[in-house]
């Protein structure tokens, strides 16, 4: 199988490439920079092209030359705060890039499946839990809005033109190789802080919960969708479990002896925060997938990774 993976050196992308990299597959990765090259194990089945996805003409030529069976679109801005700093860039890298690739598949009449990586952020603050595939979406950030627009484009291209699309939405995921910046993935940032025995800042006294999923479970979920996903469908990839932040902080404290502080929640966070979040993952489970890594061992593996660096 020929797989084109945009953002294949990033957190999710590099783990997915590990899973898919075997002699039956040819993988082409599109990446903006080579800054995350150390995430990848070299393999003769993998080709890397350094390109900004918003250079649509070049991306089109690459797709024509490679002739992928599957495109997995993971690249784009993945930080909600950066989407407010550079809102027009967010439209280009998150929405227009999706539209361009769908239109390319249509115009070139490629029999290629298009799989979009999306996020729980598209939901906004849910009115009812657990969230599922039918929950209304009211995103609170520009990033969430552009990902949601991309999701709609996938549905439209499937329904109007018959393009084979799938969408997966990931909840808060964590594990080795994730960047450790507070404005991208707070979970991994806190695990990293704890592994360095820093004092953790936990908002709202930890009185809120999220649906945390370890990266290996995410990758097996994406793999299941590649193999068995029904055309046109959206799937959630989540643990289906509530993790209270006070419990998360206490696991980190037990495993690392770090400190914990409970400061006032900043104004920006209050405005965009989605609050309590948990997802019903039964649709993907029906395809034979299930999450396997519990929170204690997921955190332990992530800390071991940080300590080995
Ligand atoms: N991590 C999570 O917890 C999480 C949660 C929910 C959903 N997701 C979804 O999972 C997908 C992947 O996320 P991730 O965590 O793996 O993100 P990531 O680590 O930030 O990786 C994204 C990759 O995309 C590349 N990229 C960004 N803009 C680009 C552009 N204009 N042209 C070419 N490449 C570009 C980046 O390259 P550079 O490094 O060179 O900039 C980076 O390698 C996204 O769809 C995201 O919404 C992730």
- Tell me the CA–centroid distance for residue 178 and ligand 1, in Å: 10
Confidence band, pLDDT 50/70/90 cuts, at residue 257: very high
For residue 103, is pLDDT > 80? yes
List the strands of the sheet with 70-73, edge to edge.
46-50, 26-31, 2-6, 70-73, 113-119, 165-170, 233-237
Query: Given ligand 1 and candidates 76, 114, 167, which is best to mutate, with the most ligand atoms within 8 Å of its CB?
Result: 76
Burial, 308: exposed, middle or buried (Cβ in 10 Å; 0-12, 13-18, 19+)?
exposed
Query: Given ligand 1 and candidates 74, 91, 147, which is best to mutate, with the most ligand atoms within 8 Å of its CB?
Result: 74
pLDDT at 59: 98
Long-range contacts of 255-259 (CB under 8 A, 24+ apart): 255/194, 255/299, 255/300, 255/303, 256/194, 256/195, 256/197, 256/303, 257/197, 258/193, 258/194, 258/196, 258/197, 258/198, 258/199, 258/200, 259/197, 259/198, 259/199, 259/200
- Tell me the CA–centroid distance for residue 291 and ligand 1, in Å: 22
Closest C-alpha to ligand 1, atom 7: 119
Ligand 1 atom with the smallest distance to the CA of 97 is 31
For residue 12, is pLDDT > 80? yes
For residue 46, is pLDDT > 90? yes
Confidence band, pLDDT 50/70/90 cuts, at residue 309: confident
For residue 243, is pLDDT > 90? yes
Confidence band, pLDDT 50/70/90 cuts, at residue 298: very high
- Cis peptide preceding 130, ω within 30 of 0: yes
> Looking at domain 2-172+214-237, which of 3.30.565.10, 3.40.50.2300, 3.40.50.720, 3.90.110.10 is its CATH number?
3.40.50.720
pLDDT at 289: 98
Question: Quick check: CB of 172 below 6 Å from ligand 1?
Answer: yes
Please give the CATH topology (third level) of the domain spanning 174-211+240-279+287-308: UDP-galactose 4-epimerase; domain 1 (3.90.25)
Question: Quick check: CB of 98 below 6 Å from ligand 1?
Answer: no
Which tens digit of pLDDT belongs to each residue from 149-191?
999 999 999 999 999 999 999 999 999 997 777 677 889 999 9
At 282, which helix (H) or strand (E)? helix 282-285
Ligand 1 atom with the smallest distance to the CA of 79 is 20
Which tens digit of pLDDT belongs to each residue from 147-157?
999 999 999 99
Average of per-residue pLDDT values in the chain: 96
Pairwise CA distance, residues 69 & 36, whole Å: 25
Confidence band, pLDDT 50/70/90 cuts, at residue 42: confident
Question: Quick check: CB of 76 below 6 Å from ligand 1?
Answer: yes
Domain ranges of the chain: 2-172+214-237, 174-211+240-279+287-308
């Amino acid at each position: 199988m020929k797989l084109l993976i945009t953002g294949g050196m990033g957190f999710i992308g590099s783990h997915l490439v590990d899973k898919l990299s075997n002699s039956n597959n040819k993988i082409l990765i599109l990446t903006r920079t080579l800054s995350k090259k150390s995430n990848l194990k070299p393999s003769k089945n993998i080709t890397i092209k350094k390109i900004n996805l918003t250079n649509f003409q070049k991306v089109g030529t690459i797709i024509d030359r490679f002739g992928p069976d599957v495109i997995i679109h993971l690249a784009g801005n993945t930080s909600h705060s950066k989407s407010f700093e550079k809102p027009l860039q967010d439209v280009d890298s998150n929405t227009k890039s999706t539209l361009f690739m769908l239109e390319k598949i249509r115009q070139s009449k490629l029999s290629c499946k298009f799989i979009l990586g999306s996020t729980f952020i598209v939901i906004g603050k849910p009115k009812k839990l657990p969230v599922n595939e039918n929950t209304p979406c009211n995103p609170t950030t520009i990033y969430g809005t552009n990902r949601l627009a991309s999701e709609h484009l996938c549905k439209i291209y499937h329904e109007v033109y018959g393009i084979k699309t799938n969408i997966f939405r990931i909840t808060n995921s964590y594990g080795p190789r994730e960047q450790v910046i507070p404005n991208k993935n707070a979970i991994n940032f806190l695990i990293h802080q704890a592994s360095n025995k820093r004092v953790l800042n936990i908002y709202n006294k930890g009185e809120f919960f999220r649906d945390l999923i370890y990266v290996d479970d995410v990758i097996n979920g994406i793999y299941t969708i590649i193999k068995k996903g029904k055309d046109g469908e959206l799937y959630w990839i989540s643990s289906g479990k509530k993790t209270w932040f006070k419990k998360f902080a206490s696991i980190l404290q037990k495993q690392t002896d770090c400190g914990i502080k409970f400061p006032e929640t900043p104004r920006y966070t209050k405005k965009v925060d989605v609050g309590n979040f948990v997802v019903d993952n039964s649709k993907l489970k029906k395809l034979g997938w299930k999450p396997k890594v519990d929170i204690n061992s997921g955190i332990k593996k992530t800390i071991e990774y940080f300590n080995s660096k």
